[in-house]
């Protein structure tokens, strides 16, 4: 397993459907338990040894930069002397992460595929990981990488069973024979947003159109070309799309029942 491959994270979105929590922040900086969801995603990758990150910035990208520039003072105990040189003495290593982070300004209104295309110069290995900046899960990333290498295809996508937000009915003709209120998971797979690609994807399936959405032509064409491997994930996954999602993830964290917290 190659832990030095880059992990590209798309974190330039507005978060318009979660405005109660993100009015002054990019979506990736909306917090779960006092830490941005972006941090939680990076901790998941870090747990499996992935250490190199490329963050695709857009809306209020400075907020992302500032968080990591001030990372040590936010995470650690310290003493500051307000005389002479205003020296700071840190008292612990809680802020130490074996991370290397590249911050890439990919445009304010740029679509997801175009953001990915614009960081191709920072992808310096044969393969790379990619995630969105708004979803968490207890996904085994070692198995994702293994599935990608065993599949031998250009791309690999984590398939999840999303939680239904609606009641599910079983019908027979005009008769409802069973009604299940918000079942835990629905049948079939949806994209969980944790990908692995060969680098050639950046040049052969993406172009410089600023309105190129990754989820439309690029991934659709990859699937039509039989170049997309499925890595099934049958356990916890959740995306922060709405304020209700924000509340749910924070409730899980507050009660100590956050399945995506797989790091120590």
**pLDDT at 163 exceeding the cut of 60:** yes
**pLDDT at 44 exceeding the cut of 80:** yes
**pLDDT at 164 exceeding the cut of 80:** no
Residue 173 in any domain: the answer is no
**pLDDT at 88 exceeding the cut of 80:** yes
Domain count, the chain: 1
Which residue segment(s) compose the domain that 73 sits in?
6-161+188-254
Residue 170 in any domain: the answer is no
Residue 178 in any domain: the answer is no
Residue 132 in any domain: the answer is yes
Burial 115-148 (b: 16+ CB within 10 A, else e): bbbbbbebbeeebbbbbbbbbbbebbbeebbebb
Phi, psi of 83 (to 5 degrees): -125, 165
Indicate the pLDDT class of residue 166, thresholds 50, 70 and 90. Answer: low
- What is the arithmetic mean of pLDDT over 234-241? 93
The domain spanning residue 153 has which CATH number?
A: 3.90.550.10
Residue with tokens 């941090």: 39
More confident of the two residues 105 and 18:
105
Residue 183 in any domain: the answer is no
């Amino acid at each position: 397993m190659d832990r030095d491959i880059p992990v590209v994270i798309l974190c330039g979105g507005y978060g318009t459907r979660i405005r109660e929590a993100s009015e002054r922040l990019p979506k990736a900086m909306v917090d779960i338990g006092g830490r941005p969801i972006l941090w939680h995603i990076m901790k998941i990758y870090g747990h499996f040894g992935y250490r190199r990150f490329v963050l695709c910035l857009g809306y209020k990208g400075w907020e992302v930069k500032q968080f990591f520039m001030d990372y040590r003072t936010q995470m650690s105990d310290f003493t500051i002397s307000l005389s002479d040189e205003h020296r700071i003495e840190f008292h612990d290593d809680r802020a130490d992460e074996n991370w290397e982070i590249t911050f890439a300004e990919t445009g304010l209104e740029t679509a997801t595929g175009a953001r990915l295309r614009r960081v191709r110069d920072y992808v310096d290995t044969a393969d790379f990981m990619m995630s969105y900046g708004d979803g968490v899960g207890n996904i085994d990333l070692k198995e994702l990488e293994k599935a990608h290498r065993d599949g031998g295809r250009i791309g690999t996508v984590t398939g999840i069973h999303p939680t239904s937000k609606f009641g599910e009915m079983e019908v027979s003709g005009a008769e409802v024979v069973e009604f299940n209120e918000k079942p835990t998971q629905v049948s079939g797979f949806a994209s969980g947003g944790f990908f692995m690609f060969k680098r050639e994807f950046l040049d052969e399936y993406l172009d410089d159109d600023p309105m190129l959405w990754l989820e439309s032509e690029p991934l659709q064409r990859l699937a039509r070309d039989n170049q997309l491997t499925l890595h099934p994930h049958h356990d916890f996954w959740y995306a922060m799309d709405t304020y209700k999602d924000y509340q749910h993830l924070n409730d899980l964290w507050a009660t100590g029942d956050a399945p995506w917290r797989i790091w120590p």
